[in-house]
Amino acid sequence: MANVNEAIFKAYDIRGVFKEDFNEETAKRVGQAMVLFTKAKTVVVGRDMRASSPGLAKAVIEGVTLMGADVIDIGECSTPVFNYAVAEYDLHDCGIMVTASHNPAKYNGFKLSYGDALPIGKGSGMDEIKKLVLEGEFEEQKVGNVVESPITDEYIETVFSFIDVEKIKPMKIIIDAGNGMAGPILEKIFKRLPQIEMISMYFKPDGTFPHHEANPIKEENLADLKKKMKEVMPDLGVAYDGDCDRIGFVDEQGETIPGDFMTALLAKEILKNNKGAKVHYDLRSSWSVRDTIIEAGGKPEMCMVGHALIKKLMRETGAVFSGELSSHFYYKDFYTVESGDLTLLFILQLLSEEGKKMSELVAPLKKYFHSGEINFEVEDKEGMMKKLEDMYSEDAKDVSHLDGIRLEFEDWWFNVRPSNTEPLLRLNLEAKTKEIMEEKRDEISKIISS
């Protein structure tokens, strides 16, 4: 019997506390619903290293095959490997990845995608999947077949096709895999980069996350990495999230590099061979991202937050690259999906080509003052956003409703948007001076808090 909390159906995926919010029967229904909704004949299924993932993947496969569809089981893998498998395989119609990404050990869930690796999310199929799962009414067919087909080696070969290995110069880096899915892949990657001295931390996959959460966006999860960096003095520090679709960076001085600054650096690298191309950056990002894209010969364009929305937008606009403050980075030539591994290789190539330290590459981007993302619990989110717009729009140079509200002024801007995954209102603000940033941050925070 399925015990399903409707709240597990998010804007971008299905996710909740295993055994509390959902169970194996739910997983079976997800498999059945995907076949019924997409009319799939073949489904790619992958899973991460969490203790509950093998059982949930088995249930998903049961659901898929009971509906008469076949399964390509790629086994334990990262989300980028899963996305590659879904986009690369010729004979398939959709994919289901069992993962809770960067969430703590008690969570699990499912990332769903169409056969071209475009995510299934709110407005693009999630509502229909939710309805089918909750109703649980399926007519079982002739049982489909299951073929086991690991694809990690093919993925690595493809990732390396985007860079010039000979350009990468000797350096020392330290990587914290967070006991997620990155470790086994990175060991294979760095066998092909003998010039790099790679120091590994927490490479063994362990879904209990014995050292810290596999979420590089939280500063506390970088503490072990930064401590080790003081001992070994590397050129770069790197941290992955649990399923490897996000990657965080720390410069050689031990300073965390924000995701929007990494967007700027990666855009600079990718635009070297794509002059005049469009690059998307999420509307929480620093003005420095816009400036860098223009300087590198690209066309900057702001976008909404969220991987499902950005991947769809990239396919519509032909953008060569997109980046988010949350350290998701998307590549047109890699099916418009994320790969922490490809991101790392691009950065190693950039460091080698520029002949500079990471802190020196980041320094020119530090010309504005950003508040960071500040979260507020607000009962009436729409009402609060309207209140802020009414108060500030008269003096604004530009007002955007792309995602929440974003008001731009001569020497500062702010964005307030409702979270797609949590009951929160999120504020991001930037100014040309620290004094203006702090004044406006405190001013708007007081209004929202009241």
Residue-wise pLDDT for 324-377, tens only, equals 999 999 999 999 999 999 999 999 999 999 999 999 999 999 999 999 999 999
341 and 375 part of one domain = no
1 within some domain: no
The reply to whether 127 and 227 lie within a common domain is: no
What residues contact 92, with CB distance under 8 A and at least 6 apart?
A: 40, 42, 43, 44, 72, 86, 115
For residues 332 and 278, what is the distance between their CA atoms, to the nearest angstrom? 11
Domain limits for position 385 = 369-449
Note whether 172 and 55 are same-domain residues. no
pLDDT computed for residue 1 by the predictor:
60
Res. 66 pLDDT band, cuts 50 70 90: very high
Domain end call among 150, 173, 191? 150
Residues 222 and 351 occupy one common structural domain: yes
Same structural domain for residues 184 and 276?
yes
Kindly state whether residues 421 and 312 are assigned to the same domain: no
Would you say residue 262 lies in a domain?
yes
> CATH number, domain at 34?
3.40.120.10
Residues 133 and 161 occupy one common structural domain: no
Confidence at residue 421, expressed as pLDDT on a 0 to 100 scale: 67
Above 80 in pLDDT, residue 228? yes
Amino acid making up residue 119? P
Residue 193 located in a structural domain? yes
Residue 403: inside a domain: yes
Question: What is the structure's pLDDT at 142?
Answer: 82
Helix (H) or strand (E) holding 167: none
- For all residues of the chain together, what is the average pLDDT? 96
pLDDT band, very low/low/confident/very high, at 11 (cuts 50, 70, 90):
confident
In a domain, 256, yes or no: yes
In a domain, 332, yes or no: yes
Q: Are residues 397 and 354 in the same domain?
A: no
Told to judge if 101 belongs to the known catalytic residues of this protein, a careful annotator would answer yes
Percentage of the chain surpassing pLDDT 70? 99
| DSSP codes, 229-251 | HHHH--SEEEEE-TTSS-EEEE-
Query: Is there a single domain that holds both residue 14 and residue 71?
Result: yes
CATH number, position 377: 3.30.310.50
- What mean pLDDT do residues 183-211 have? 98
From 150, 176, 204, give the residue that closes a domain: 150
Residue at which a domain ends, from 316, 349, 365: 365
What's the full length of the chain, in residues?
450
pLDDT value for 423:
77
Q: How many CA atoms lie within 13 A of 234 on its CB side?
A: 24
**Each residue of 39-48: pLDDT tens digit?**
999 999 999 9
Q: Per the structure, how many domains does the chain have?
A: 3
What is the rounded distance in angstroms from the CA atom of residue 279 to the CA atom of residue 301? 6
Which range has the worst mean pLDDT, 29-43, 59-73, 83-97, 314-328? 83-97
Backbone conformation region of residue 285, classed left if phi is above 0, alpha if psi is from -120 to 50, else beta? beta
The reply to whether 252 and 118 lie within a common domain is no
Instruction: Kindly provide the b/e burial profile for residues 196-222, where b requires at least 16 CB atoms within 10 angstroms of the residue's own CB.
Output: bebebbbbebbbebeebbbbbbeeebb
Whether 368 and 429 have beta carbons less than 8 Å apart is answered as no
Q: Spot the catalytic one: 52, 53, 101, 286.
A: 101
Share of the chain above pLDDT 90, in %: 93
Please report whether residue 54 resides in a domain: yes
177 and 314 both lie in a single domain: yes
177/50 same-domain check: no
227 is a domain residue? yes
